[in-house]
Structure 1
């Protein structure tokens, strides 16, 4: 009988350790090449953005701390006094209220009417191509030209609308001189000009909806209205979210129509137009105008962050 000897402690087999991973070189020739290609493509755009966007923004914030008359070679640093003057003035609530009314009505009107027109243009009938072009055409026209044409229509003395009202024995409202009616006039024209944009974007969203799902719902007995409420609208939420952001930013910066149709800002002094009147009107208060512009920028920033942070949660991406 043979006896098996135990192995000596010094001769115990050892497990091979994990092989050391080769150290990766961070700046390889390909990495350097890709980096320089990125710089060549992105650097010109970054320089242009810095020079024409961020530099004027920083300069405007600095100007808002000055008591400066436009054209004057000297200015006095007043800190936040321009902001305090605006928010404590009687015109602050009026300007902010006009801005809120104009923005809410134009954005809501453009999106609702645009969706209804998109539903009509989505029908498979003859003439829809011409109708789509006709609806979208006002959006690409110059705001100055559109304002001049509609100013002729609304003019209470010799306008087309006044002529039609006189034909039925009625007097034309004072659209231009009445502050409330002038705001209504500008809102109507702005909605008319921009609803084509909303209609075309909504039309693209409607045409991208999954048709198999719509056909399945139709076979299950869902009528057109129920399919639209329960299926089309939720699936259109990315389109609605995109239009909400772009339309809000556009409405808050609307200037050309207001400038042409109401040069004195009678009842239509939104934030951006009030900044223009303070700087280039009879006041020449460049520092005060810069403060109003910074307030408008802050409102735009808050609205955009709020939409991206909270409203996007309700968007259903397929």
Structure 2
């Protein structure tokens, strides 16, 4: 054997040498027909997403860099709308009101929804009636609930002050106080907790009964069972309701608009971010500036969602068994 032959035989084989090449799998005519059928069925959804989501969002981002009233052609202004939004005192006021609302309404809503779900999960004969009663308030439209609260909290003839008078309390005007009107809107939002309660109820029904039986054998109290079994196994559902709750809180609009007649008063106490965005778009015909406000709201909501997902690694448990 010559040296050159020995060198060639000792050289390492090229990557993949000696391995059988995978032949590309051809798509049969039957599979092509199935693919075309599937695309046909999902095409309405795809068209809807493109027309009603992708295009409006893209167009709104483009408008955010323009001055546009809806009557004449847009004028490019660059980042001027964003600079104005950062320095606008009413944006800061609307943002603080929205943060105040979200910081109270979202945790309170989760607690209310979870309590309702626990009540609806009881093994009693009348549980179907209880589920209907607890869920029914969430079916009331937001504008109708707002009018009900206006009458209920009316400082002159409202039922709330009459109830306070029975117990010796003095009349209060929640709708005439900057903080009181936010509290009223927060309480109003709790009547829609039935939707989140149904999601919690679905999660409760999926918790294995054997875990509770083992806990009772070990002498665990109902409170201990709740914090050691129920709450950890409900954490994925809690995460979902938290995300949707924060998203809804950032977009609170209808209740505040009706209660304050679109003004946000008293003293701009109910001027939430979406209301100020709406007033700029359709009240002041500043569609470019309103689009910039919408983009900022989207970025803040996306950032909060990512933050919650990142923090959820510490409290969300996807295991079937409780720790």
The answer to whether the superposition gives a TM-score over 0.5 is yes
Residues of 2 paired with 1:53 and 1:232: CA distance? 38
Whole-Å Cα distance in 2 between the matches of residues 178 and 141 of structure 1? 26
Aligned to 1:61: 61
- 1:255-270 correspondence to structure 2 within 5 Å: 255-263=253-261, 264-266=263-265, 267-270=269-272
Give 1:133's aligned residue: 132
Return the alpha-carbon distance in structure 2 between the equivalents of residues 42 and 309 of structure 1: 32
Give, in whole Å, the separation in 2 of the partners of 1:235 and 1:22.
44
In 1, Cα distance between equivalents of 2:215 and 2:170: 53
SS at match of 1:236: helix
Higher Cα radius of gyration = 1
1:122-161 per-position Cα deviation (integer Å, ceiling 9, x unaligned):
2223432212111111112211111111111011122222
Tell me if the contact between 1:144 and 1:257 (Cα under 8 Å) persists in the aligned partners: yes
1:1-318 alignment runs, 5 A limit: 23-69=23-69, 71-166=70-165, 170-191=169-190, 193-263=191-261, 264-266=263-265, 267-281=269-283, 283-312=284-313, 314-317=315-318, 318=320
Residues 155-181 of structure 1: per-residue CA shift (max 9 Å, x gap): 112222233345566543222222111
Aligned residues: 299
3-state SS of 2:175 partner: coil
Q: Residue by residue, what CA displacement relative to the aligned partner does 1:61-114 show, whole Å, maximum 9, x if unpaired?
A: 112112223x43244221111111111122233222111111121110011122
Report the RMSD for the aligned CA atoms in angstroms. 2.2
For 2:161 and 2:287, locate their aligned partners in 1 and report how far apart those are by CA, in whole Å: 39
CA distance in 2, matches of 1:163, 1:214: 46
3-state SS of paired residue (2:37): helix
Residues 34, 314 of structure 1: alpha-carbon distance in 2 compared, 3 angstrom cutoff: farther
> Comparing 111-120 with 162-171, which one deviates more in the overlay?
162-171
Tell me how far apart the structure 2 counterparts of residues 190 and 94 of structure 1 sit (CA, whole Å).
21
TM-score (norm 1): 0.86
The aligned residue for residue 6 of structure 1 is: none
The answer for the alignment partner of 2:14 in structure 1 is none
CA distance in 2, matches of 1:34, 1:184: 55
TM-score, normalised by the number of residues in structure 2? 0.85
